[in-house]
């Protein structure tokens, strides 16, 4: 492989190609690395409840669940990301926030985090990144005692800085699961009954407000602090609630957002400006029932981003597309090939389900004597097609390309806004203390110098404070640096290729994977935005 982070896509902004054996092999092996706990999100808590649509979304989405007044049962699992099943609830770590909506049309799994962005935008980086959050293969220490690998990865992948600003800031340790928001992060498509589609971001806004713990406060809490808080609140009748809200934009707006503001809706490290794309409330989630058996109802619950009901469709975001494969593959390995038959994962629908999957471990619902092929002996009925996939996703025509993103100036705009406009004086002090305290366990000063250079692109003030706190002088910026995992688009004299590659050229387009008119190849003219916009999205 010329570069282990490259992925094959249909054009620079098209979907991933299944023929990319390197990516499939990487993800398949990664999904099977831990037995039996989850590779990520191993430590978790959960409960059951109900979702109700309070404000119809039928103008944008044909899903039955979004008609005003509709209700469905839900199962929610909160989690930390990097730690093991016995790790501390108050670790400085993103939090998982996954919801299984058991609608009349089947299950919709909203697999989210408590941060609106993530550390990466190239899907093949994910296993690499998670490895740096786990125990060192030699010392078997976590980054609580040796943070070298943690900062080494971040210092080699500057696009992670937006998430680092959030992680090391006040939102890095929420005060229990009840007091945090949830974000899908990826962009999906909503399709209405007319076949029209828009891009969408889902948000779950805590009705309890948000609260956080400082680094010092976190050391005073018990290992299962968040689990205990959630369980006791529900038992006492203090039922936690979240509002389900959406941001939406048209395909043309997605193109304009890149052309005018260099915000890439395919990019998991970027967010949509709320002033331009305001939140719209759709419904409410309420947790009202604790699990009777944690293992059966929470440990075995399996969320799959590919589980979508008609009216919700994936976009061409490469990280989302890789998750569509990786999550169910991990469940088949961890829980078993028939994980969807478990009561906590099975849909609640008013008809008998028929498919052509049979046997395998724990096949306790094997559909009797019904033929396991499309047969005239015992015919089944098929659902009427409600979504024209040709219209929603278009017909991509283009070269197969090996795509690796590059770091650009706009990658530092949102982190800079956090530092200059969101963090107050005390929050800035806590951030510098959190980062420098964690860096104290990094054995390689060169890594710290590189990371301070990345922070200098965010703010010279931030870099100076970190230099004083760590006693390490960082580089002046990233213009003279090269990175293992990303082309440096801010290098002097042109792009600096990643990892010593001879060329940064991956396709004819220069949009860093963003939706740009004319870079999509030939697309069916199925709606007003079709020529060059179909299939272009995701956070």
Cis status of the peptide bond prior to 381, with omega within 30 of 0: no
DSSP letter string, 338-359? TGGGSTTTS---SS----S---
| Distance of alpha carbon 69 from alpha carbon 54, whole angstroms | 6
3, 41, 162, 333: the catalytic one is: 41
Give the start-end residues of each E strand in 337-446: 400-403, 406-407
Q: For 189, phi and psi rounded to 5 degrees?
A: -110, 135
DSSP state at residue 278: -
Backbone angles phi, psi at 442, to 5 degrees: -90, 125
Q: For residue 464, give the 3-state DSSP assignment.
A: helix
Whether the Cβ atoms of residue 179 and residue 208 lie closer than 8 Å to each other = yes
| SS3 call for 129 | helix
Residue by residue, what is the 3-state secondary structure of 26-45?
Answer: HHHHHHCCCCCCCCCCCCEE
Tokens 């689990």 sit on residue: 227
Active site residue 232: no
Helix (H) or strand (E) segment spanning residue 247? strand 241-249
Q: Is 499 a catalytic residue?
A: no
Cα–Cα distance for residue pair 43/78, rounded to 1 Å: 9
In sequence order, what are the residues at sequence separation of 6 or more whose Cβ sits closer than 8 angstroms to the Cβ of residue 435? 168, 466, 469
| Parallel, antiparallel or unpaired: strands 487-488 and 280-289 | unpaired
Alpha carbon distance 296, 148 (integer Å):
38
Q: Could you tell me if 209 and 178 are in contact, meaning their C-beta atoms sit under 8 angstroms apart?
A: no
State the DSSP H helix or E strand holding residue 511, giving kind and residue range, or none if neither: none
Three-class SS of residue 316? Answer: coil
DSSP 130-178: HHHHS--TTT---TTT--HHHHHHHHH-GGGHHHHHHHTSGGGSBSSGG
How is 269-335 classified by DSSP, letter by letter?
Answer: T----TTTS--EEEEEEEEEE--SSHIIIIIS----TT---TTEEE-S-HHHHHHHHHHHHHHHHHT
Task: Indicate which residue of 113, 304, 434, 527 is catalytic.
Answer: 113
Q: Is 294 labeled as ligand-binding?
A: no
249: phi then psi, degrees, rounded to nearest 5: -155, 155
Binding-site positions for heme read 327
Q: Residues with catalytic annotation?
A: 41, 113
């Amino acid at each position: 492989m010329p570069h282990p982070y490259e992925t094959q896509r249909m054009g620079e902004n098209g979907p991933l190609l299944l023929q990319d054996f390197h990516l499939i092999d990487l993800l398949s092996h990664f999904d099977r690395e831990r037995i039996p706990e989850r590779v990520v999100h191993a430590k978790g808590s959960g409960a059951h409840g109900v979702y109700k649509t309070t404000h119809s979304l039928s103008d944008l989405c044909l899903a039955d669940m979004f008609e005003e007044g509709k209700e469905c049962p839900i199962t929610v699992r909160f989690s930390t990301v990097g730690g093991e099943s016995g790790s501390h609830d108050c670790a400085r770590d993103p939090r998982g926030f996954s919801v299984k909506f058991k609608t009349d049309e089947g299950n919709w799994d909203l697999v989210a985090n408590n941060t609106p962005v993530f550390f990466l935008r190239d899907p093949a980086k994910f296993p690499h990144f998670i490895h740096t959050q786990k125990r060192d293969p030699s010392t078997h220490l976590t980054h609580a005692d040796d943070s070298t690998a943690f900062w080494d990865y971040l210092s080699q992948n500057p696009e992670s800085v937006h998430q680092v600003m959030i992680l090391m800031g006040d939102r890095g340790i929420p005060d229990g699961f009840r007091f945090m928001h949830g974000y899908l992060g990826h962009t999906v498509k909503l399709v209405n009954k007319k076949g029209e589609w828009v891009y969408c971001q889902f948000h779950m806004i805590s009705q309890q407000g948000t609260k956080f713990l400082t680094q010092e406060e976190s050391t005073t809490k018990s290992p299962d602090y968040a689990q205990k808080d959630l369980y006791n609140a529900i038992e006492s009748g203090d039922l936690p609630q979240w509002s389900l809200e959406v941001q939406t934009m048209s395909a043309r707006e997605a193109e304009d957002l890149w052309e005018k503001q260099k915000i890439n809706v395919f990019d998991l490290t970027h967010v949509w400006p709320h002033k331009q794309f305001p939140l719209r409330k759709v419904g409410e989630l309420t947790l009202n029932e604790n699990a009777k058996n944690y293992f059966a109802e929470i440990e075995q619950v399996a969320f799959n981003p590919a589980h979508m009901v008609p009216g919700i469709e994936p976009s061409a975001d490469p990280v989302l597309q890789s998750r569509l494969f990786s999550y169910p593959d991990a469940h088949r390995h961890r829980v078993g090939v028939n994980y969807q038959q478990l009561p906590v994962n099975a849909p609640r629908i008013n008809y008998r389900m028929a498919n052509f999957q049979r046997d395998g471990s724990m096949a306790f619902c094997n559909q009797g004597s019904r033929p396991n092929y499309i047969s005239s002996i015992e015919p089944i009925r098929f659902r009427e097609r409600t979504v024209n996939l040709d219209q929603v996703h278009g017909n991509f025509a283009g070269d197969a390309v090996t795509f690796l993103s590059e770091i650009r100036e706009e990658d530092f705009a949102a982190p800079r806004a956090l530092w200059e406009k969101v963090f107050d004086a005390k929050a800035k002090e806590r951030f510098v203390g959190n980062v420098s305290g964690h860096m104290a366990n990094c054995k390689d000063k060169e890594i710290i110098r590189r990371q301070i250079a990345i922070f200098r692109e965010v703010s010279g003030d931030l870099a100076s404070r970190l230099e004083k706190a760590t006693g390490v002088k960082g580089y002046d910026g990233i213009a003279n640096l090269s990175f293992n995992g990303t082309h440096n688009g801010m290098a002097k004299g042109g792009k600096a290729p990643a990892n010593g590659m001879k060329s940064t050229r991956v396709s004819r387009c220069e949009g860093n994977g963003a939706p740009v008119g004319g870079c999509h190849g030939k697309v069916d003219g199925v709606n007003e935005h079709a020529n060059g916009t179909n299939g272009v999205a995701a956070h």
